[in-house]
Amino acid sequence: MAERIFTLDDLTGARSVCGCLACNLSAVFADHLTALRTGYPGAVTTLGHRRPSPGTTAVPHFLAVRLGGVIADVVVWEEMRPHQLTAWLPAPDARARVPQLAARIPRLVRIRQAVRTGTFTPSGAAGEALSTGGRYPSFRFLVEHWLTLNKEFTP
């Protein structure tokens, strides 16, 4: 499923005084992602993720945020316990790739931007998933289709 493009006003439900990403952004995204993950009590931050808490996996989420006429890619982090990670990403081989790929954010963002601009379209199941999921592939999409994406993408 592709991410929606959000404005700060969409996320806060109020008219922003400032459109700056630095203004209370962590609280905005924390509220949004907690609402998306039914019953999820974990912490979400936009400040980067140094290490997950014991017993959890750090999972990045890529959001596209419209600031005026510019679309900014924002990475927010969520900590998932094993049962939450399994529910979110059922395939064991894909779950095993999460920590490795979470450390490759710059490459994943380049792939995502290439998909979004139409300069890269993967083949096979990844290409089919994009045709139904839109042009803003999620971290989950990138993990599920990493073998194809990594093989085919050349920056």
Q: pLDDT of 3-42, one tens digit each?
A: 555 565 565 555 554 444 444 555 555 555 554 444 444 5
* pLDDT of res. 4: 57
50-56: long-range pairs with CB below 8 Å, 24+: 52/79, 53/79, 55/81, 55/82, 56/80, 56/81
Burial 109-127 (b: 16+ CB within 10 A, else e): eebbbbbbeeebebeeebe
* pLDDT of res. 82: 93
* pLDDT of res. 91: 94
How does strand 70-80 pair with strand 44-45?
antiparallel
Contact between 124 and 148 (Cβ < 8 Å) = yes
* pLDDT of res. 122: 93
Contact between 95 and 85 (Cβ < 8 Å) = yes
Q: What is the arithmetic mean of pLDDT over 71-99?
A: 87
* pLDDT of res. 44: 56
Contacts of 140 (CB under 8 A, 6+ apart): 1, 88, 89
* pLDDT of res. 20: 47
Reported as a pLDDT band with limits 50, 70 and 90, residue 53 is confident
- Give residue-wise pLDDT tens across range 94-151: 999 999 998 888 888 889 889 988 899 999 999 998 887 667 788 889 999 999 999 9
**What predicted TM-score, i.e. pTM, was given to this entire model?**
0.70
Contact between 14 and 61 (Cβ < 8 Å) = no
Contact between 62 and 77 (Cβ < 8 Å) = no
CB atoms within 10 A of CB 19: 14
Question: How far apart (Å, rounded) are the C-alpha atoms in residues 136 and 55?
Answer: 30
